[in-house]
Chains A and B, each alone.
Chain A
């Protein structure tokens, strides 16, 4: 593995992890309101995917979208401020945890509804194709979203219109509390691509480098041939679904098993054993990630709340 890439993947994953741990902490203190969907354990899928994308590619994230947003390049400080509901937030405090966007880096917004991102991504890909741009659009989807009708519609549309769309499915095996085996007869999600005459690949979603390789390849195919591609990343959500999760639907042993497969831990071990990164280098990356997060939290806390007097400002565009 390339040293620079390894450092980037690790740094992104660490920022994501520390960001979410921080969100969880301030949530527990009552300093963040609303709800939040953490993706602890899924960072490799987000980092590997987003680092394989071009800055100008469009990326649509899910409600569990913090990591995708961070890895696509959303400013971490302003994202933290958004989650704190502050005026300096990347969406001025209008969106919150579930709705992070930063048009400047192609983060077209994380969506609170399961599935529509697949269709929206078709639209960005349609525009790029029309504009003669060599870009693609990526839609993150969970395994649960694969049972939404609109995802079927979007995959069919992308295929029949030859649109450069990457359907990036993070299969964390649960739709909230419901295991994939209860809601899908054939749990080989990639097999669905065949129905749309679409290429697909399944990859270990806890291996950041493997994800990067798979998505890079898929992106190359999508952009060069103008065609969609389905990438399925098998992973696991170590954190609960949201703040209401009592973990009644899974065993401690199961969670423990997946903690052993923590993507950050595996990545570090591999980088060390293969000599890609040294211990001091890893420590340095960790420190950088930590200070970025503490600066972000401080920025968020210090920022003012938005005023309701401006609330009509962004209902309509000029």
Chain B
């Protein structure tokens, strides 16, 4: 019989790894300070005791250990790497850009790279410009990778399980402000498929396409807008690469209005891609107003709490954007 528990996002991530490690001996964890330190964000906790030799502290050598995980994956393991901050893709970028996603294609399908890179992303913790970025658009520009941003504990567990079982390199961006959020998660074995969006709130007047933490902010905005008589649909993409285009297209055809919300900076962001995707689809003919994007300001993430908050989309900005869109 399946039970349900309210657990944190961090625990959901941990449970996914624990359950997969119990089931599959080829799953190992590698990362900086994931052992006795219990992970920089406390995700791994006491897993190093439960799985001796399989929760491995690495040197501060991101290219070295991500590369090692790729080689291990090509030789039969299923490594899950924790990259402490997603900003650190810069110091192992060759592995993420030129190695992991290229092996299968470049060598004609002979080799596969079943590995996961979990990494803490996003701002809101006062960690400033080098520890707060949302770099998903860069990752989505790399065919051969899969990229997911879970917004709830349920998805954090289900998407990670899918990622561990997937035969391709998958990057999971775990937004730092979500780690302590709670949600209902069944104790039974389940997965959330990669590449499938979720309609979080049904509405008729405007579609908001978003992902990650901005899903929650958008839902709150939608509730407020409902009081004004504006019915907003909120789509949580969950996986950014490959993207569930049809769910977005169908929603836009219904509501005839589209607002894209993300925490990443606007220029060259996923919003541009989603907007272009709609422009190229038959949903374009249904639009009653131009597509809008509400994103972070095009600046490095500032330190001061007032500034950090100020450059991001929030409930009020989303409400204003939807009002303008449907107005």
A residues near B (Cβ < 8 Å) are 58, 60, 89-95, 99, 101-103, 108-109, 111-113, 115-116, 118-128, 130-131, 137, 149-150, 153-154, 156-157, 160, 313-318
Nearest opposing residue in chain A for B146, CB measure: A316
Nearest opposing residue in chain B for A131, CB measure: B76
Q: Is B105 in contact with A123, judged by CB distance below 8 angstroms? A: no
Tell me if B72 counts as interface (CB < 8 A to partner A). Answer: yes
Expressed in whole angstroms, the Cα–Cα distance for A221 and B70 within the complex equals 25
Tell me if B211 counts as interface (CB < 8 A to partner A). Answer: no
Nearest opposing residue in chain A for B69, CB measure: A123
Which of the segments B8-16, B109-117, B175-183 contacts the partner chain?
B109-117
A315: which of B70, B73, B75, B144 is its contact (CB, 8 Å)? Answer: B144
User: Which B residues, 47 to 63, have Cβ-Cβ distances below 8 Å to chain A?
Assistant: 58-59, 61, 63
Sampled A-B contacts (19; CB under 8 Å): A94-B106, A94-B108, A95-B107, A102-B110, A108-B71, A116-B94, A118-B67, A120-B70, A120-B71, A120-B74, A124-B74, A127-B71, A150-B67, A153-B59, A153-B61, A156-B59, A157-B65, A314-B104, A317-B168
Please give the distance in Å from B74's CB to the nearest CB on chain A: 6
Tell me if B199 counts as interface (CB < 8 A to partner A). Answer: no
Please give the distance in Å from B212's CB to the nearest CB on chain A: 23
Which B residues are in CB contact (< 8 Å) with A316?
104, 144, 146, 168
Nearest opposing residue in chain B for A130, CB measure: B77
Nearest opposing residue in chain B for A137, CB measure: B71
Q: Is B77 in contact with A126, judged by CB distance below 8 angstroms? A: yes
Which of the segments B95-103, B287-295, B306-314 contacts the partner chain?
B95-103
A116-B99 contact in complex given A157-B61, A317-B104, C-beta closer than 8 Å: yes
A94: which of B26, B79, B105, B113 is its contact (CB, 8 Å)? Answer: B105
A interface majority secondary structure: mixed
Q: Is A124 in contact with B167, judged by CB distance below 8 angstroms? A: no
B111: which of A92, A108, A113, A131 is its contact (CB, 8 Å)? Answer: A108
Which B residues are in CB contact (< 8 Å) with A124?
71-72, 74-75
Which B residues are in CB contact (< 8 Å) with A92?
108-109
A123: which of B67, B107, B167 is its contact (CB, 8 Å)? Answer: B67
Nearest opposing residue in chain B for A312, CB measure: B143
Expressed in whole angstroms, the Cα–Cα distance for A76 and B68 within the complex equals 29
Which B residues are in CB contact (< 8 Å) with A150?
63-64, 67, 94
B95: which of A101, A116, A121, A149 is its contact (CB, 8 Å)? Answer: A116
Q: Is A113 in contact with B110, judged by CB distance below 8 angstroms? A: no
Q: Interface readout for B27-53 with A: 1 if CB under 8 Å, 0 if not? A: 010000000000000000000000000
Q: Number of residue pairs across A and B with beta carbons under 8 Å? A: 151
A127: which of B65, B76, B108 is its contact (CB, 8 Å)? Answer: B76
Which A residues are in CB contact (< 8 Å) with B75?
58, 108, 123-124, 126-128, 137
Which 10 pairs from chain A and chain B are nearest by CB? A123-B71, A119-B67, A153-B64, A127-B75, A91-B108, A92-B108, A153-B61, A120-B71, A123-B72, A101-B107
Expressed in whole angstroms, the Cα–Cα distance for A156 and B60 within the complex equals 11
Expressed in whole angstroms, the Cα–Cα distance for A133 and B321 within the complex equals 60
Q: Is A315 in contact with B104, judged by CB distance below 8 angstroms? A: yes
Expressed in whole angstroms, the Cα–Cα distance for A317 and B144 within the complex equals 9
Which B residues are in CB contact (< 8 Å) with A122?
64, 67-68, 71
Which B residues are in CB contact (< 8 Å) with A103?
107, 110-111
Please classify how large the interface on chain B is, using the bins under 10, 10 to 19, 20 to 34, 35 or more. Answer: 35 or more
Q: Is B77 in contact with A101, judged by CB distance below 8 angstroms? A: no
Known: A89-B108, A124-B75, A126-B68. 11 other contacts (CB 8 A): A99-B106, A109-B111, A111-B99, A119-B64, A119-B67, A156-B61, A157-B61, A157-B64, A314-B105, A316-B144, A317-B114
Expressed in whole angstroms, the Cα–Cα distance for A86 and B316 within the complex equals 58
B64: which of A94, A130, A131, A154 is its contact (CB, 8 Å)? Answer: A154
Q: Is A113 in contact with B104, judged by CB distance below 8 angstroms? A: no
Please give the distance in Å from A148's CB to the nearest CB on chain B: 9
Please give the distance in Å from B26's CB to the nearest CB on chain A: 8
Expressed in whole angstroms, the Cα–Cα distance for A313 and B105 within the complex equals 8
Nearest opposing residue in chain A for B54, CB measure: A130
A149-B63 contact in complex given A90-B108, A101-B110, A315-B144, C-beta closer than 8 Å: yes
B112: which of A94, A99, A317 is its contact (CB, 8 Å)? Answer: A317
Expressed in whole angstroms, the Cα–Cα distance for A118 and B61 within the complex equals 13
Q: Which of A60, A93, A101 has the most CB of B within 10 A?
A: A101
Expressed in whole angstroms, the Cα–Cα distance for A93 and B79 within the complex equals 29
Nearest opposing residue in chain A for B73, CB measure: A123
Expressed in whole angstroms, the Cα–Cα distance for A115 and B61 within the complex equals 14
User: Which B residues, 101 to 155, have Cβ-Cβ distances below 8 Å to chain A?
Assistant: 103-114, 143-144, 146
Nearest opposing residue in chain B for A306, CB measure: B108
Nearest opposing residue in chain A for B103, CB measure: A109
Please give the distance in Å from B293's CB to the nearest CB on chain A: 28
Q: Which of A89, A95, A120, A128 has the most CB of B within 10 A?
A: A120
A113: which of B59, B65, B98 is its contact (CB, 8 Å)? Answer: B98
Expressed in whole angstroms, the Cα–Cα distance for A101 and B111 within the complex equals 9
Please give the distance in Å from B269's CB to the nearest CB on chain A: 23
Please give the distance in Å from B165's CB to the nearest CB on chain A: 12
Q: Interface readout for B156-184 with A: 1 if CB under 8 Å, 0 if not? A: 00000000000110000000000000000
Which B residues are in CB contact (< 8 Å) with A115?
94
Which B residues are in CB contact (< 8 Å) with A120?
67-68, 70-71, 74, 99
Expressed in whole angstroms, the Cα–Cα distance for A149 and B59 within the complex equals 13
Q: Is A119 in contact with B105, judged by CB distance below 8 angstroms? A: no
Which B residues are in CB contact (< 8 Å) with A126?
68, 71-72, 75, 77
